[in-house]
Amino acid sequence: MRLPALILTVTTGFLSLLPRQAPAATPVQPDVKTVVRVMDNLYRSTTSIGRMELTAKTETQTRRLSMRIWTKGTEKTLVVIDAPAREAGNATLKVGNNLWNYIPNISRTIRIPPSMMLSPWMGTDFTNDDLVKGSTYAQDFDTRIEGRSANPAGWLVAMRVRPGVVGRWQKIEWIINDEATLPILGRYYDLKGRLARTMMFSEVKNLGGRLMPTHMTLESVDQPGHKTEIHYLDMKFDAPVPDNLFSLSQLERQ
């Protein structure tokens, strides 16, 4: 009749010998300058060469584009569409504050004025500025760490546009990982302070020797059912990229 009590006593004693788990350490708050540098250089370096696929979805259609992209610093970017065949050869070139689109069907190069940097690129939810990264967070925004975010878990970073900077956004909120090395979510607020769009980052992989989110999903609040996704397929950083690649004469030869 004492056997159950004996078993309970032995079992209880065994449990008391198990090591207690230490509480999880609170992540150390990152430095603001480090966060800004990470966000500005996430997909670029001194030079970069990449391949990506873009999928744009609306209520009525889905478009898929295969593209190549070259960058040199923050001043030079070239994007060339390879597929589908009907859009192959379309290209976008950015040099400094100047932006051009080349349309092979009409053999014409069109200069995009600064007023259209925030217009949709190729009918997607991304803007010309998104694609060629004409602005930088270091130059155009004041940044502060707001604290911790619960859902998704990470650091909440607020970037407010600086006075005198012309743009589409009043503020961008980022959720970045505990190590402050990768973004998880971005929320973009328009000039009236309303949430306008969200961008999700996922599928972290090693491309070109660095860990980076290879899948970006952009959704506009005022256009339900619209979604644009970018998949990075390959990236090379600090590889040789000739200066003459970023010229109008080369733009029409890609």
- CATH of residue 192: 2.50.20.10
| Residue type at position 254 | Q
C-beta atoms surrounding 219 within 10 Å: 17
DSSP string, 127-175: BHHHHHT-S-HHHHEEEEEEEEEETTEEEEEEEEEPTT---SEEEEEEE
**Buried b vs exposed e over 88-112: b needs ≥16 C-beta within 10 Å?**
ebbbbbbbeeebebbeeeeeeeeeb
Give the chain's domain count.
1
159 within domain boundaries? yes
Q: What's the pLDDT score for residue 213?
A: 97
Q: Does the residue 215 lie in any domain?
A: yes
Does some domain include residue 131?
yes
E strand or H helix at 62? strand 62-72
Q: Tell whether pTM > 0.85.
A: no
pLDDT of residue 15: 45
Q: In the predicted model, is pLDDT for residue 196 greater than 50?
A: yes
Instruction: Assess if residue 99 is contained within a domain.
Output: no
Residue-level pLDDT at 19: 57
pLDDT tens digits for range 118-139: 788 877 888 877 766 666 899 8
- Domain limits for position 151: 32-65+120-240
Q: Does residue 59 sit within a domain?
A: yes
Inside any domain, residue 211: yes
pLDDT of residue 58: 87
pLDDT above 50 for 10: no
pLDDT for res 199: 95
**What is the mean predicted confidence (pLDDT) over 214-224?**
91
Whether residue 78 is contained in a domain is answered as no
pLDDT tens across 18-75, in order? 556 655 677 889 999 999 999 998 888 899 999 999 999 988 889 999 999 999 988 8
Look up tokens 């502060």; give the residue. Answer: 144
How far is residue 32 from each of residues 91, 155, 252, measured CA to CA in Å? 35, 11, 41
46 belongs to a structural domain:
yes
Tens-digit pLDDT profile for residues 138-175: 989 999 999 999 989 999 999 999 998 877 889 999 99
Q: Is the pLDDT of residue 226 over 90?
A: no
